[in-house]
Chains A and B, each alone.
Chain A
């Protein structure tokens, strides 16, 4: 599920960036550092939408770098256990299929696919019902329920 939340981060800036463009440099560094990252607590940071507040800078002892506490608004994607959502199938094999919801990858094991769907291998491997009415293959859209999440360094599976 997508959320719009306020996060806070301490940004370190080298003195070469000071001057008229200090705030711009701070903001672009923030975007480069944070957009596209992922944490277990907040999920994926998809896009920063605005800066709420930039606090007073504090010079670090011994280095000359300055730390600014920045509060910013952003769109995050955080999947929850028990959540129901729609996904696009990316790969099908006999163990199950992979699907994507935005930046998150989902794996559905064949144990959790309805019993009346059988795996069919071939050029376009797929799961089909016995009467052929429903077919899950690459690029199909499926609706599924999340039963567990795992955070892996920089991604959520």
Chain B
């Protein structure tokens, strides 16, 4: 597969198509999939039969690994100057310290967007406040 060799999420090399695409956090996916599941429930008595294993496994996964319950809280998180991908990784993993955040998303430091440690720390504080008060 062409381009596979250069792919590296740590450096935000994920292909232009995905860099420009809308990235979703687990909590957002949980909302979408649950909504779809409810729609299916309304239309037939046995929705479980209609959905693929992929859907089922994904739904179980995002319900288990969601960090935020309130999607509007998450909306606030999206206002930072980060690529969508970086934002979603942080939203999914909720690092507590700046070191953790840089370990999880090395590209926030290297992309040359003047993200110093203080800015990252402020962002992490805001994220954890959002989580506490949602």
Chain A residues in the interface with B (C-beta under 8 A): 1-5, 35-36, 38, 40-41, 44-47, 49, 75, 77-78, 80-86, 88, 100-103, 141, 143, 146, 149, 151
Residue of A at shortest CB range from B26?
A2
User: Is the beta-carbon distance between A86 and B93 smaller than 8 angstroms?
Assistant: yes
User: Is the beta-carbon distance between B23 and A84 smaller than 8 angstroms?
Assistant: no
Residue of B at shortest CB range from A36?
B52
User: Is the beta-carbon distance between B58 and A77 smaller than 8 angstroms?
Assistant: yes
User: Is the beta-carbon distance between B61 and A88 smaller than 8 angstroms?
Assistant: yes
Q: How far is the CA of A5 from the CA of B14 in the complex (A)?
A: 14
Q: How far is the CA of A4 from the CA of B21 in the complex (A)?
A: 7
User: Is the beta-carbon distance between B54 and A103 smaller than 8 angstroms?
Assistant: yes
Chain B residues in the interface with A (C-beta under 8 A): 1, 4, 7-11, 14, 17-18, 21-26, 28-29, 32-33, 36, 51-55, 57-58, 61-62, 64-65, 85, 88-89, 92-93, 104-105
A-B contact count (CB 8 A): 109
23 contacts between A and B (CB under 8 A): A1-B9, A1-B24, A2-B28, A2-B29, A3-B18, A3-B22, A3-B24, A4-B24, A5-B22, A35-B54, A36-B52, A36-B53, A46-B33, A47-B36, A75-B33, A84-B93, A84-B104, A85-B89, A86-B92, A102-B54, A102-B61, A146-B9, A149-B4
Q: Tell whether A82 pairs with B11 under 8 Å between CB atoms, given A47-B33, A77-B58.
A: yes
User: Is the beta-carbon distance between B9 and A83 smaller than 8 angstroms?
Assistant: yes
Select A102's contact among B23, B28, B52, B58, beta carbons within 8 Å: B58
